[in-house]
Amino acid sequence: MNSNNIVLIGFMGSGKSTIARCLYQHTKKMVLDSDIIISNNENLDIKDIFLKYGEEYFRKLELEFCNFIKDNVKNSIISTGGGMPSVCNVKDIGKVFFLDLPFKEIENRLKDSKNRPLFSDTKKAKLLYEQRQEIYKSSCHFIINANKTPREITQEILQKI
């Protein structure tokens, strides 16, 4: 891995897209958000991809995105979907930062969101969160406490790149 990519992983609502934009302000590296790119390519919102084709199809799209990044992208900021580390080795695409946020904070951030298909049932979402914690930890180079301001999180990442 010598791509100079910064890869942000974490559960939905952990701040990956926000932190990617903040990092851009400091590094001017291109930001590639997997959910936005997949949504644009399919011409559907993520929730509609899940409804129309199912989660397995979406994970296949995430794997294709990951493989494309690995083979073609350098010196960029990659904001991944929450499940991407379970379908591909994100360490292959760059230096990986896990934005770790307690479930209660995620719940507060997402309680009014209509575009999170896997957060429609809070109990299921909490179980998914717990299942993914170990995947995130084993898939990253650095664990970042994301229960801080975007500025503080950005500064911590910048010190590690």
Q: What is the 3-state secondary structure (H, E, C) of 74-88?
A: CCEEEECCCCHHHCC
Read off the pLDDT of each residue in 19-45 and give the average, rounded to a whole number.
Answer: 96
> What residues make up the domain containing 147?
6-160
Does residue 151 form part of some domain? Answer: yes
Which positions make up the binding site for Mg(2+)?
Answer: 17
User: What is the per-residue pLDDT for 137?
Assistant: 97
pTM greater than 0.85 (yes/no):
yes
Domain with residue 120: its CATH number is: 3.40.50.300
Which positions make up the binding site for ATP?
Answer: 13-18, 116
Share of the chain above pLDDT 90, in %: 80
User: How are beta strands 142-145 and 95-100 bridged, if at all?
Assistant: parallel
Does residue 26 form part of some domain? Answer: yes
Does residue 105 form part of some domain? Answer: yes
70 phi and psi, to 5 degrees?
Answer: -60, -40
Does residue 113 form part of some domain? Answer: yes
How far is residue 135's CA from residue 125's CA, in Å, rounded to a whole number?
15
Which positions make up the binding site for substrate?
Answer: 35, 59, 82, 132
User: What is the per-residue pLDDT for 42?
Assistant: 97
Which positions make up the binding site?
Answer: 13-18, 35, 59, 82, 116, 132
Does residue 13 form part of some domain? Answer: yes
Question: How many domains is the chain partitioned into structurally?
Answer: 1
Does residue 40 form part of some domain? Answer: yes
- Give per-residue pLDDT as tens, 6-18: 999 999 889 999 9
- Give per-residue pLDDT as tens, 60-119: 999 999 999 999 999 999 999 999 999 999 999 999 999 999 999 998 887 766 666 566
Average pLDDT, the chain: 92
8 phi and psi, to 5 degrees?
Answer: -105, 125
- Cα separations in angstroms, 137 against 34, 61, 85, 86: 20, 23, 10, 11
Given its phi and psi angles, is residue 20 left (phi above 0), alpha (psi -120 to 50 degrees) or beta? alpha
Does residue 134 form part of some domain? Answer: yes
Does residue 1 form part of some domain? Answer: no
